[in-house]
Structures are given as structure tokens and as C-alpha cells.
Chain A
């Protein structure tokens, strides 16, 4: 607790320029950009798979119904 208080106390008043050469990226952007595009790809593949699976299921049901109908004749 005292450690964090000490850090806060050391912070300078107001805005001061960063020392040259010390500017670093705080949050890396590359993983966020890659995650965004990867998620889109996975979401589309998953969605296409669900459509394909549902169409297959309905087709299967149609064929089963046709078979039942022709069997009962």
C-alpha cells in the first residue's frame, strides 16, 4: 500500500514531455487487430456451417417424409 502511495507522490505536477527514446507502446495493437479479423473469419465459417447443417437437416426430413409417403402407398 505504502509503495503505491510513494509512486503517486513521485508523480510530477501537470503534463510534462516524455524523455526522448523512452516512448513505448502501452497496449500492443497487433494482437487486437489480428483477433478482430480472426474472429470475423471464424464467425463467418461457423455461420456458414450452421446454414449448411440446417439445410441438410431439412433435406433429410423431406426425404424421410417422401420415403414414408411412397412406402404407405
Chain B
């Protein structure tokens, strides 16, 4: 099924990403941060995409650990890689935004620090898979579950520990305070989620091929 819809989905996603910079350029400035606030549209969307990937990794890790499903393992490792990729962009774009909005490249506030930790957990997942040897799949799956369990704390960190990072209410109230920006940010989130689906499909295909190659080597040895 994914094979059939991959190309149309890729075209829709490409069109959305082609339109997004144009729409971001045309949307009005936010009242206090002006131009630099426009980083927000991709910055927020990338964290949403990362959250989706974390959910996939968490669920796939549970299924793999308790049912031993090979496909679940493919989804686990594929989504872990996406978490790191999106996380890197989220941290980088946040740093650029913070440079202007906060006057510093980096701030050890609760949200930024916890987001860094969660990226490191999934980077650890990938390293365990790559260098852990036999049995590393199960160890990595356990890391995937605990990494996913951390994500609600990352989300709520800005409400629980008040620092300079905007609270979750900013996005919740955007529909009434700045409807034009709200429409655009959800458009960007949709584009990022479609991109997540496409990248995940491509990455899962790679894992499936690797698994098939392992089977071929085992068959050749027999």
C-alpha cells in the first residue's frame, strides 16, 4: 500500500514545503520578536514531527520487546533515527531563535536541557544498535520505551518549571491571539508529519532490506 501512495504523498509534501517559505515570508510579524519569530513555524513543526516519531518508536519498542516482531524492530530503529534528525534541527533552530530573542546561543532552561537529553537517549539507542553486538535490539527497545516515557515530561517542562522558554499555552491560544499564524503553523505541522511518514517508509524499507540480506547470508552458509 505504501508503495502505491509513496509518490503522490511525496509530491504533496514537496508542494507543501515549496509553499511554506512563501507563506512564512508573507505572514505578519509577531508583535515583540518581529522577524526572528518566523523561525517558530518550522521549529514547532519539527518538534511535533519528533513527537510523532517518539510515539512510533515507543509503540514499536513495546511490540518488539514483548512479541518479538521483526517489523516492529524495523520501525523502532527507523523512528529513532528520525528523532535524532528532527531533534538536531529543533535544537539548532531554537539556538538561532534564542540568540535574538534571549540574547544567547544556548540557555540551560528546563525545556532546552530536557529536549537535549531526549535526543541523546535516542542517539544512544542508535549507538547501541550499531555497536552493541548480539542482543542489542532488545536493549535498544528498552531504551526506546524509556525515551518515549520521557517525552511527556519534556512537553510539560515549560509549564512545571517556569524559565524563559514560552509555555505550551502560547500554541493553544494562537488561534485567538494570532489566527493567521495558527493556520500557518498547523499547515507546517501537517507538512512535517507527511515528511515523517515518507522518511519513515524509506528508512523502514532499508531495515527490511538489511533483514532480508541477513537471511540471505544465513541461507548461503547452510
**In angstroms, how far is the closest chain A Cβ from the Cβ of B101?**
9
Within 8 A of A (CB), among B32-47: 34-36, 38-39, 42-43, 46
Q: How far is the CA of A2 from the CA of B167 in the complex (A)?
A: 43
Please determine whether B210 and A29 come into contact, CB atoms closer than 8 angstroms.
no
Give B212's nearest chain A residue, CB to CB.
A62
Interface of A (DSSP majority class): helix
Interface flag for B213 (CB, 8 Å)? yes
Interface flag for A58 (CB, 8 Å)? yes
Interface size class of B (residues with CB under 8 A): 20 to 34
Q: How far is the CA of A48 from the CA of B205 in the complex (A)?
A: 13
Q: How far is the CA of A35 from the CA of B212 in the complex (A)?
A: 40
Within 8 A of A (CB), among B6-38: 21, 34-36, 38
If the complex has contacts A43-B89, A58-B206, A58-B210, are A32 and B42 also in contact, measured as CB distance less than 8 A? no
Please determine whether A51 and B213 come into contact, CB atoms closer than 8 angstroms.
no
**In angstroms, how far is the closest chain A Cβ from the Cβ of B210?**
6
Could you say which residues of chain B place their CB within 8 Å of the CB of A39?
Answer: 89, 92-93
Q: How far is the CA of A18 from the CA of B99 in the complex (A)?
A: 23
User: Which of B21, B34, B99, B202 has a CB less than 8 Å from the CB of A51?
Assistant: B202
Please determine whether A40 and B89 come into contact, CB atoms closer than 8 angstroms.
yes
Could you say which residues of chain A place their CB within 8 Å of the CB of B206?
Answer: 51, 54-55, 58
**In angstroms, how far is the closest chain B Cβ from the Cβ of A53?**
10
Please determine whether A29 and B100 come into contact, CB atoms closer than 8 angstroms.
yes
Q: How far is the CA of A51 from the CA of B100 in the complex (A)?
A: 34
